[in-house]
Amino acid sequence: MKQHNFFDRIIPITSLVCRLALGFLFFYAGVGKIIAPREFAVAIYNYQLLPDGTINLLAVVLPWLEVFLAAALVAGFYVRGASLLSAGLFFVFAVALSINLVRGLDISCGCFSTAGESINWLYVVREAGLLALSVFVLFFDRGWRCLVGSSA
Amino acid sequence: MNDLLHRNKAKIAVILRSAFKEALLLFLIAVLVAVVFNALRPAGISLLGFSPAQTFHAPQTKIPEITLAEAYDLYIKNKAVFVDARDPFSFEEGHIAGAINIYPDEISLHLAGLKQRISPGTVIITYCDGPRCPLSHETAQGLKLQGVSAVKVLIDGWGLWQKAGYPVAEGNK
């Protein structure tokens, strides 16, 4: 019974920490790309996965989506929607990275800024980890209440 | 047990349903704000139709030029890596000895190979054929965007190099 109470308390707090971490991460990633859309378009182009006609649109929309996800996750509104989108994005990022690693392309990630190191399998592991955090937040987030509420 | 499973399934369904609704709304708001912001800002880009050549050619940075004499001096001192920006067929027919072939669209494919050959003090010299050929500038811009900083363009490089009788090679070497 005691153990049950412990998990009831620790899971929402862990989820809140994950939520805030994801929020700050998305904010950092999104703002960097909003500043330099042309360079981000080149990063997307280098992945060689999308038709040319869709590259600029994605380069314009994705950074703002990341910023809105950040705002939602940090402020605590539409958390379920934000964490679902976040999980979807990390899944797509992991697949895109994996495809190009298998192809053997040496490209910059474009993950958090438009310049950067070449991709490697650690990036895929990181995306998978962030995907897991997003799913955790989706199902276990209880908001700020968990800090003040009782464990009942 | 069965009841618990059923209840959990129903709970997950409720969570996912509300998550999808919220996600759709967040996505639509983000699209709207992104498109409006892009249209209003001076540095906005066209939403449809990405052109690699146009993007690489956009004058974010001016690529310095180098004269044939300077380029040959660096070649002799082994302080230059020549990058042939022409298509692979022209490259195979003949190129500056020791050059590597990087067509503007293929920068990401060859970046690792190029970086291996760069040491401190090395100058990357891009060239193509003819005084009006844009490929050497496009490759140079692309390399700059990828973080290769010491890039210079040798205008009409292939033509000048051949006329001067400097070392050339054929094939892929």
**Which parts of chain A fold into alpha helices (H)?**
2-35, 37-47, 52-75, 79-103, 121-140, 145-148
Give the global pTM.
0.63
Residue of A84, A120, A136 to mutate when probing chain B, most B C-beta within 10 A: A84
ipTM field:
0.88
Averaged pLDDT, groups of 10, chain A, 152 residues long: 69 92 95 85 86 90 97 94 96 94 80 72 94 94 72 40
B14 touches chain A (CB under 8 A): no
Q: What is the pLDDT of residues B100-143, one digit of tens each?
A: 999 887 888 888 888 888 888 899 999 998 877 788 988 998 88
B146 touches chain A (CB under 8 A): yes
Average pLDDT over residues B38-66: 73
| CB atoms A60 and B38 under 8 Å | yes
Across the interface, of A37, A59, A105, the residue whose CB is closest to B108 is: A105
The percent of residues in chain A predicted with pLDDT above 70, rounded, is: 89
Angle at B147 between CA B145 and CA B153, to 5 degrees: 70
- Measure the CA–CA gap between B91 and B102, rounded to whole angstroms: 10
B55 touches chain A (CB under 8 A): yes
Q: What is the pLDDT of residues A91-112, one digit of tens each?
A: 999 999 999 888 877 777 888 7
Whether B61 has a pLDDT exceeding 80, the answer reads no
Contact call for residues B152 and B123 (beta carbons, < 8 A): yes
Q: Kindly provide the residue ranges of all beta strands, DSSP E only, lying in chain B, ordered along the sequence.
A: 80-84, 95-96, 100-101, 123-127, 151-154, 168-169
| CB atoms B37 and A64 under 8 Å | yes
Q: What is the pLDDT of residues B140-149, one digit of tens each?
A: 988 888 888 8
Amino acid symbol at B6:
H
Tokens of B43: 């540095």
